[in-house]
Structure 1
């Protein structure tokens, strides 16, 4: 029998404990092998044979609505005042007020007063009681079960007024918690809404093309996408016609538009700003870069961080312990001092205050918010565990080429007694026949100086040494100093200049004309402008460069960046060994590389951080964190976000426990009331959620 795995999107998933219960209910269905609820992303993954109706029945206790993951469901945003539970809370408040009015007129023992409070309890608590009684029958204890016991107990001992107010306050806290979680989930919903659901495409029919608007799910590979100025690009593809600037902020976090012309790659969800483009579609809608990012972010939000695993284990033992304490408070003191009604009431209040809601939600809401925020900033973090661990990292290893440097060689020095421009023109004339990166750097320098290209004749390449050609009637030799020195005399002063350039990590190209040495050109991979500032901003104890380059180059760049360690002449397996050694010496290590040739080292490091994740499958697959826009400045932001998340998680757990502890201590003098209990529970939960929402505001550089 084949086992199908399906993803479904959920609406109305209100709280973390509800998510756990919903998951348990779905797992209990006989045809289901496994189920996993992703509370942060409001999704469930089910392994087995099941219908949407069955899943909705499993979530009926929380009013959960289910839709297929692949279908785009436009979630109607129901205004706060139109939600059924909020309307019932409002009606409940009205009867509470009428009850107080009647109490002031006819006294608290009057049948009319009690009747109004009972109506307030029934109207406001109908949802609580349905779930609470069902849970009691199954001996399952969550917040609604505890509330049901507390309200029934309060009614039995005649505390009608308190029971009615507690029902109203609980309804308010549930509504506010649902609103807050919805805000936390907005970051992922914004990502999902980036790419348009439909697009205009041009499809061949015989000899003619027909334009049509189709849902993105129906667009095929090789269809031609027509993108007008100001439109969002709906699919990944290659530009086949047109020239435009495209804002890729949605994918890479960079707001500066990128010029796109024929042959360039474009991504779904990016904004075409100026010209019209025709794009050949290269991926189905579910395989686009933005779809992969959304999927990876949702997976990351589902993965439990270490602190969340601890809280889950703690809550497992915490709830039964609180119930035992409540029972002891209700029974033990009256055995010695009497006043059973007062102490039973205190026990009921302990039940309410002890609910673990705030504790259970303290970590996931912070993780969900931080990972969603990072994705909007162009940083893909593939799990809460990586987000937490990054905050503890004190050692970061960097690949050099393409990470700390631009990855493109550039001309830095021209040393000659003649005109620099003249020498550059003659050398470029020889080098433009070559595909070598150094030759490309020289030709690029010619174009940057806007110099005229000269035409060579009789070009000859000398393997491993250089090349020569006739330029404007003169033979120009370009190559290694050793080869040029074997052809013409090179004075001692020039030898010293060459040595100086080499100690600075530059590659030297020597030049001779006819039988005369005329100068050298220094070429180096340029250090990124932001590299030095980024390394200073990281606030880590140890920074290491791992590179395959020669030692002089590596040491020169490491020195200019004030790095604490440098390892040169490394092959991929050597980088792997270096990471293992660093882990042994320092503990947790992060590695920053390009995600392709650094894959083994990235996988071995505690945290692998890939540069340039946009469109790079290797980076998305290998790394724990991907900087989507190839932007090194996102690294300090990510580390700051990680540290801030750790701080907020610690604050959340502390807030939740201290508030509950204070409320529980009120039992000793007998001052704890149901009002205080519900305020302590509601206050702790809301404090935790709103504190976590501060992570939505974290920006680059903060």
Structure 2
């Protein structure tokens, strides 16, 4: 979970240009950490972004940008809606452009051709001077970027991939030039080695750029959902049935304000979050929620900005625009997840901090050892060059962020927002999933099923309903809405109350201003909160039939008035809530993953067991107070003896927030409260419990890709450096292998894009 920004801090996001490997990331982070007032700084190679939190009044954005530029990298403030699209529009002749790669290979082909013809028995080669003519533009023009970036890193007291390439290719080019000037023999020259290294590195960087764009596809797809303009209706025609172009204005989206009425024609995207006031039809919300079927919308239905209007013109009153919209928040959550670091990345950062100096030292030792053992300066230099080239830590730096970007991106496409990379590291360990019942496994819209008075002969049932409904006026609790809906359906006016007071974990208390209980303090509370009350046996006996049917039972109590202190029950009020149609399949999917399921409920044990048995829940905790949910999660985690269990909590209400935060992995339904979503590491964009197993599945697969990438990145250098030092890899092969390693890591991460939910 990303904490809210403290009020005494400022938060900046920068686009960083020129980073090539994990060492660059480490160097930028170290530079940012030294800035006065910086509280936290995080740099991501795959997104090429830095996120910085600064104590207000210390360092400005201009100061931060200037320091990053002084370190040797480009820096600019990130545009929230333009960053990724700008990256896809690089010049054809840019540093990582395809044209530079093609030009380099065109110049290098005649240099490499003699090596390719030799196995065919054709012995031909260019003269040494022609080799110099072809190799020099590659070395000094196409390869100038390596000299420039390498020099800046050297001046900053650190090394990076560019420095390794610059030193390695310069050694091969310089040795060839020396031999040409002293001996003039073409067969002793190594211009093709330096040229092909530069070409392969440029090809690798171009492939990396292409692959990075694909890992960011999820955010770009979301960004494209924003229309540029909105049709804002004139005030006097807002409720008309049809509209002409002179009755609305096309305004840029950033000029639309809450309260504006927007006309959305068939086939157009809805530009704002709001409520339909005229029209009806089906709206496609698939890219936002993962819901494959269009959703029927009527007047007063809420719509999400970015969703697609199917048929029929709609008039939508704007409620949330810009950064307050659901779409904007989704993009922010996905971006935050993609730029945060998993804790395993700390190991990579520690290695990369000493990697380049270590490689240079190994290359020097290789050169000296080979020169002493073989007594050949040229072979010693070439083997040192191979070490420098193959050891570039690009793959190491991309291994984790590329997998996180691809995994969180594809998850977001199917309505699963993974906000915290820590989730990815814990998901594969999960062995218990705990569900809150109401709103998670059930629809969350209970209905009033039973009202049983306690011997109130002179008081009619409709008067009790009017009184109970009056206590709930203004409440957003599902049971409160059920009472108010029941009164409305029976055309019973709720009696107003005074001194209304919510009692967390108990119920609500107020004094009716009219009716048979006027002036009395009444309390509508759960049965479990009656513990210790002498009327509890009577209440339990009266409510037993409701319990047996799995209903949720409340009791309306009369606490008396200023003259008489009473504590007597007025009526049993029981509610029923339907299970979601896919609740059982959600539990079955978790069982298929070998995960034990638990249900937490405030209902009595028999009612809770009835629900759990129908969908196959393994264990039930019933009659629990909301505040006890976090304690139960902690108990589940401790397990039996010394065995620790990893627990996920799935909920949607305010009272679930402590349990969501306590769990190893918290999953909140977006149909619930904002508090629950802020406390959870995963948000499920539609109230579908089958997404729980899907979220665990994509988290496991993403974590698996991270481990695979890191293994191959470490293994590549562990095997490649000794092979290069011993002469088994020529500089040309080393350059090809280095470029291929980065491409393989990114390609492996991109395999996650093929993931689909099993339950869809």
TM-score range, shorter chain: 0.7 to 0.9
Partner of 2:368: 331
Q: Deviations over 1:55-82 (max 9, x none)?
A: 6982996666755436789638448956
Are the aligned partners of 2:81 and 2:223 in contact in 1 as well (CA < 8 Å)? Answer: no
Change (3 A) 1:95 1:301: same
Q: How does 1:284-323 map to 2 (within 5 A)?
A: 284-323=321-360
Q: How does 1:654-665 map to 2 (within 5 A)?
A: 654-665=711-722
Report which stretch shifted further, 656-665 or 161-170.
656-665
Q: How does 1:561-580 map to 2 (within 5 A)?
A: 561-580=615-634
Q: In the alignment, does 2:692 pair up with 1:635?
A: yes
Q: How does 1:482-493 map to 2 (within 5 A)?
A: none
SS of the aligned residue for 1:670 comes to coil
Partner of 1:530: 582
Question: Distance between the aligned counterparts of 2:86 and 2:25, measured in 1?
Answer: 19
User: Please, what is the CA RMSD of the aligned residues?
Assistant: 4.3
Partner of 2:661: 603
Q: 1:186 aligns with which of 212, 217, 222?
A: 217
Are the aligned partners of 1:12 and 1:65 in contact in 2 as well (CA < 8 Å)? Answer: no
Q: How does 1:324-403 map to 2 (within 5 A)?
A: 324-403=361-440
Q: 2:154 aligns with which of 118, 136, 145?
A: 136
Question: Distance between the aligned counterparts of 2:125 and 2:671, measured in 1?
Answer: 70
Q: 2:80 aligns with which of 69, 72, 90?
A: 69
Q: TM-score, normalised by structure 2?
A: 0.74
Partner of 2:285: 248
Q: In the alignment, does 2:687 pair up with 1:687?
A: no
Partner of 2:204: 173
Partner of 2:60: 49
Q: CA deviation at 1:370?
A: 0.8
Question: Distance between the aligned counterparts of 1:146 and 1:247, measured in 2?
Answer: 51
Partner of 2:295: 258
Change (3 A) 1:410 1:194: same
Q: How does 1:525-564 map to 2 (within 5 A)?
A: 525-538=577-590, 539-564=593-618
Q: CA deviation at 1:668?
A: 6.5
Are the aligned partners of 2:238 and 2:315 in contact in 1 as well (CA < 8 Å)? Answer: no
Q: In the alignment, does 2:105 pair up with 1:93?
A: yes
Partner of 1:111: 129
Partner of 1:200: 231
SS of the aligned residue for 2:86 comes to coil
Question: Distance between the aligned counterparts of 1:598 and 1:443, measured in 2?
Answer: 24
Are the aligned partners of 1:22 and 1:58 in contact in 2 as well (CA < 8 Å)? Answer: no
Partner of 1:671: 728
Report which stretch shifted further, 168-177 or 182-191.
182-191
SS of the aligned residue for 1:403 comes to helix
Are the aligned partners of 1:35 and 1:44 in contact in 2 as well (CA < 8 Å)? Answer: yes
Change (3 A) 1:531 1:12: farther
Q: TM-score, normalised by structure 1?
A: 0.80
Partner of 1:218: 255
Question: Distance between the aligned counterparts of 2:619 and 2:302, measured in 1?
Answer: 37
The total of aligned residue pairs comes to 637
Q: 1:160 aligns with which of 191, 207, 217?
A: 191
Question: Distance between the aligned counterparts of 2:651 and 2:65, measured in 1?
Answer: 47
Change (3 A) 1:102 1:365: closer
Question: Distance between the aligned counterparts of 2:609 and 2:235, measured in 1?
Answer: 58
Partner of 2:502: none
Question: Distance between the aligned counterparts of 2:733 and 2:102, measured in 1?
Answer: 21
Q: CA deviation at 1:202?
A: 2.2
Q: CA deviation at 1:237?
A: 1.4
Partner of 2:3: none
Q: Deviations over 1:306-345 (max 9, x none)?
A: 2222222232234333332222211124324422321222
Change (3 A) 1:42 1:288: farther
Question: Distance between the aligned counterparts of 2:295 and 2:430, measured in 1?
Answer: 34
Q: CA deviation at 1:645?
A: 0.9
Report which stretch shifted further, 533-542 or 683-692.
533-542
Where does structure 1 lack aligned partners over 5 or more consecutive residues? 414-426, 446-452, 457-497, 510-520
Change (3 A) 1:145 1:613: farther
Change (3 A) 1:674 1:53: same
Change (3 A) 1:41 1:140: closer
Q: How does 1:408-419 map to 2 (within 5 A)?
A: 408-409=445-446
Q: CA deviation at 1:500?
A: 8.8
Question: Distance between the aligned counterparts of 2:334 and 2:467, measured in 1?
Answer: 47
SS of the aligned residue for 1:597 comes to helix
Where does structure 2 lack aligned partners over 5 or more consecutive residues? 1-7, 116-121, 177-189, 240-245, 451-460, 473-477, 493-542, 555-572
Are the aligned partners of 1:663 and 1:676 in contact in 2 as well (CA < 8 Å)? Answer: no
Q: Deviations over 1:586-643 (max 9, x none)?
A: 43211001142211211211211111358x4223322111111111111111111011
Q: CA deviation at 1:206?
A: 13
SS of the aligned residue for 1:246 comes to strand
Question: Distance between the aligned counterparts of 2:273 and 2:70, measured in 1?
Answer: 37
Change (3 A) 1:18 1:176: farther
Q: CA deviation at 1:27?
A: 6.8
SS of the aligned residue for 2:283 comes to strand
Question: Distance between the aligned counterparts of 1:97 and 1:342, measured in 2?
Answer: 23
Partner of 2:265: 228
Are the aligned partners of 1:396 and 1:540 in contact in 2 as well (CA < 8 Å)? Answer: no
Question: Distance between the aligned counterparts of 2:40 and 2:719, measured in 1?
Answer: 41
Partner of 1:589: 647
Change (3 A) 1:439 1:177: closer
Report which stretch shifted further, 67-76 or 361-370.
67-76
Are the aligned partners of 2:665 and 2:682 in contact in 1 as well (CA < 8 Å)? Answer: yes
Question: Distance between the aligned counterparts of 1:595 and 1:442, measured in 2?
Answer: 19
Partner of 2:529: none
Are the aligned partners of 2:165 and 2:389 in contact in 1 as well (CA < 8 Å)? Answer: yes
Question: Distance between the aligned counterparts of 1:33 and 1:438, measured in 2?
Answer: 45
Are the aligned partners of 1:133 and 1:148 in contact in 2 as well (CA < 8 Å)? Answer: no
SS of the aligned residue for 2:577 comes to strand
Change (3 A) 1:45 1:438: closer
Q: 1:273 aligns with which of 310, 322, 325?
A: 310
Are the aligned partners of 1:393 and 1:540 in contact in 2 as well (CA < 8 Å)? Answer: no
Question: Distance between the aligned counterparts of 2:444 and 2:65, measured in 1?
Answer: 55
Report which stretch shifted further, 239-248 or 598-607.
239-248
Q: CA deviation at 1:409?
A: 4.3
